[in-house]
Amino acid sequence: MGRANDSSLVGFILLGFSDHPHLEPVLFVVVLLFYLLTLVGNFIIIIISYLDPLLHTPMYFFLRNLSFLDLCFTTSLAPQTLVNLRGPEKTISYGGCVVQLYTSLALGSTECILLAVMAFDRYVAVCKPLHYVVIMNTRLCQQLASISWMSGLFNSLIHATFTLQLPLCGNHRLNHFICEVPALLKLACVDTTINELVLFVISALFLLILPTLILISYGFITQAVLRIKSVEARYKAYSTCSSHLIVVIIFYGTIIYMYLQPSGSYSQDQGKFISLFYTMVTPTLNPIIYTLRNRDVKKAVKKLLSGKLCSL
């Protein structure tokens, strides 16, 4: 058991970017900036989608869930990262590492499923517009959101529990800036082939099957959009769907690169920068992408800033 060694007592030393001390002040500013932008951007999305009656639709219900996910995901990682980048003390308690591992895994897995659910919502809206309200009713939306959250939690329980069961034999120098499964596996003093296989198989289910379903949905969506004669209707369908597709490509692209490559196919430094991108940068990009490419959201933001936005 992993708790049988002194890592459960002294916690972990997060080496992070200590090999590049000249980068740490720059990374501190970058992480802080993106964290603040994530907080502001996603809070705005949550507020306007709740207060503006025009945004009380399934699409913005799921977008509100996505924004809340990004807020929680970044908050589970950014404060600890900022503390470790600021000074020489780069430690995290064993309990803190456990909480961070379970939380970030659950939220990240939930986002994988939620993005697929949002693709299904766009498919119904574009391909079956006359039945959209009937199909995407409030009950179904709540059920799909609940399935996303529960599936993410279940995936986290499997990954984190398997990883934390490994004996570390006193190893507590984690070559990462967060508690992440691939980095923790490298500390184990036993063969981790089974763990790596479980990680790969479950990751493949999330990172291959779900993107495939999303791409199939967008294949049908593209065909339907090309058949739309109204230029305005075509533009609206294009803007909302392209925003979601950009978010999908950015999110899945970095996660697939991180989790579906053979162990040792990239350097640890490279892995850390990849992790930095999808943990700090991606949650910031989501509200920006949806705001810049969606006229309804831009109108709601303007009403919010002018004080004219209120709920029914």
Q: Which region among 153-167, 169-183, 292-306 has the lowest average model confidence (pLDDT)?
A: 292-306
Q: How far apart are CA 209 and CA 252, in angstroms?
A: 12
Separation CA 11–CA 173 (nearest Å): 9
Q: Which residue has the higher pLDDT, 291 or 32?
A: 32
Rounded distance between C-alpha atoms, residue 83 and residue 130, angstroms: 52
pTM of model > 0.75: yes
- Distance (Å) of CA 132 to CA 103, 140, 250: 34, 12, 28
Q: Which two tokens stand for residue 223?
A: 């065909």
For position 261, what pLDDT does the model report? 65
> Is the per-residue pLDDT at 195 higher than 50?
yes
Q: Distance (Å, rounded) from C-alpha 65 to C-alpha 71?
A: 10
Q: pLDDT category, 306, cuts 50, 70, 90?
A: confident
Residue with tokens 């479950």: 202
Residues 6+ apart with CB under 8 A from 33: none
Q: 136 φ, ψ to 5°?
A: -90, 60
Query: What is the rounded distance in angstroms from the CA atom of residue 105 to the CA atom of residue 122?
Result: 26
Would you state the structure tokens that stand for residue 152, as one six-digit string?
A: 């993410």
* Contact (Cβ atoms closer than 8 angstroms) between residue 71 and residue 38: yes
| Residue 214: pLDDT over 50 | yes
Would the pLDDT of 176 be above 70?
yes
Q: Is the pLDDT of residue 233 over 80?
A: no
Alpha-carbon Rg for the chain, nearest whole angstrom, is 21
* Domain-wise residue ranges, the chain: 2-294
Question: Which of 5-19, 85-99, 235-249 shows the lowest per-residue confidence on average (mean pLDDT)?
Answer: 5-19
The Cα–Cα gap between 160 and 240 comes to 35
Fold (CATH) for 2-294: Rhopdopsin 7-helix transmembrane proteins (1.20.1070)
3-state SS, residue 174: strand
Q: Where are the alpha helices (DSSP H) in the chain?
A: 7-10, 24-51, 58-75, 78-86, 94-127, 132-135, 138-164, 181-185, 193-204, 210-227, 231-259, 268-276, 282-292, 295-305
CA atoms of 199 and 108, how far apart (whole Å): 14
Tell which residue, 119, 99, 101, has the closest CA to residue 109: 101
CA distance 75 to 39: 9
pLDDT reading at 113 higher than 80: yes
Phi-psi map region of 99: left, alpha, beta (phi>0 left; psi -120 to 50 alpha): alpha
- Specify which residues 173 forms β-bridges with: 13
Other beta carbons within 10 Å of 75: 15
